[in-house]
Amino acid sequence: MPSEAPHAVDSSQQPPISRTTKILAVVNQKGGVGKTTTAINLGAALALEGLNILLIDCDPQANTTGGLGFRRQKDDEVQRLSIYDVMLGPTTLAEAMQPTTIPTLTLVPGSKNLIGANIELVSADRREYRLKDAIAQLHNRYDFILLDCPPALDLLTLNALVAASGLLVPLQAEYFALEGISELISTLDRVAQAFNPDLGLEGVLLTMYDDRTNLSQQVTANLAEFFGEKMFRTTIPRNIRVAEAPSHGLPVATYDPRSRGAEAYRDLALELMARNGITPHEEESERA
């Protein structure tokens, strides 16, 4: 269990990198489909490949924050800075950053204050651009920024979609998987038209997958037909180690690196990197 870091991340320790940052919103308005699990474990797997990763917890449930070992704070405690303070106050992302057990994985925590953010943002200036504006101050120091979204198409998710270059949509291969997806896709189209022409669908990921059942094979075939190339080849199996890891405050890659879940998220990281033409940093330095 990582201890609470008393200090902010020293950003001067992290070398600037020249290539552009890819910002992915992990989004599905349906609850419990594996958004948070994917944000944590894909982020960790990419970081373990040597990439610089920033994970931003945009959900009032703050499960990404808790899953990385930052415990829930009591009301009478001094509150750690969170993405709430960045979106609604003078705080910068750099000031709210927390280190994790993986040196190249940095977290900007969420907090339950975000429940109020949806209401407070309504009357705020540039209310859809708060997150984008904050990220714009970062000067490209990250290979990927992953935004864990709440299970709603609310102003917090809208901020994530406006800031993002792509959507990563976790789905469970179940009969109702496509329910809600047309709403999500039309939201994507509307956000792209109104706020963010760069926004696209990066990929659709099957989570908690069990390929032994006829139903999941059938549903998978339908999804593959619907999404075509946008379906990741990698699927994430239902794996007990994945479910246990957050209670130890760790990504599954650190909690049990040899588990099927850890391997699957590593495969996903490599697939995402290959799609984006990125080679692991270690290999680059070995070649140099």
Ligand X SMILES: Nc1ncnc2c1ncn2[C@@H]1O[C@H](COP(=O)(O)OP(=O)(O)OP(=O)(O)O)[C@@H](O)[C@H]1O
The residue among 35 and 52 lying less far from Mg ion, judged by its C-beta, is 35
CB closer to ligand X out of 61 and 113:
61
Q: Where do contacts with ligand X occur on this chain (CB under 6 A)?
A: 31-37, 59, 61, 63, 151, 207-208, 236, 238-239, 242-243, 261
94 versus 246: smaller Cβ distance to Mg ion: 246
Q: Which does 242 bind (CB under 5 to 8 A by kind): Mg ion, ligand X, none?
A: ligand X
Which partner, ligand X, Mg ion, none, binds residue 34 by CB below 5 to 8 Å per kind? ligand X
CB environment 19-47: b (16+ within 10 A), e (fewer): eebbbbbbbbbbeebbbbbbbbbbbbbbb
Minimum CB–partner distance for residue 120 and ligand X (Å):
21
Measured between alpha carbons, how far is residue 288 from residues 142, 143, 267, 276, 281 in Å?
21, 19, 25, 21, 11
CB 169 within 8 Å of CB 160? no
Query: d(Cα 230, Cα 224) in Å, to the nearest integer?
Result: 8
Taking the complex as a whole, the smallest distance from the CB of residue 11 to Mg ion amounts, in Å, to 27
Name the 3-class secondary structure at 94.
helix
Nearer to Mg ion, 66 or 203 (CB): 66
Closest residue by Cα to residue 36 from 57, 15, 13 = 57
Nearer of residues 35 and 266 to Mg ion, judged by Cβ: 35
- Residue 101 binds: one of Mg ion, ligand X, none (C-beta under 5 to 8 A by kind): none
CB of 171 to ligand X, least distance (A): 10
Q: How far is the CB of 60 from ligand X (least distance, A)?
A: 10
Q: Are strands 105-108 and 144-148 parallel, antiparallel or unpaired?
A: unpaired
Residue 85 interacts with which of Mg ion, ligand X, none, CB < 5 to 8 Å by class: none
> Could you tell me which of 195, 56, 193 has the C-alpha nearest to residue 128?
195
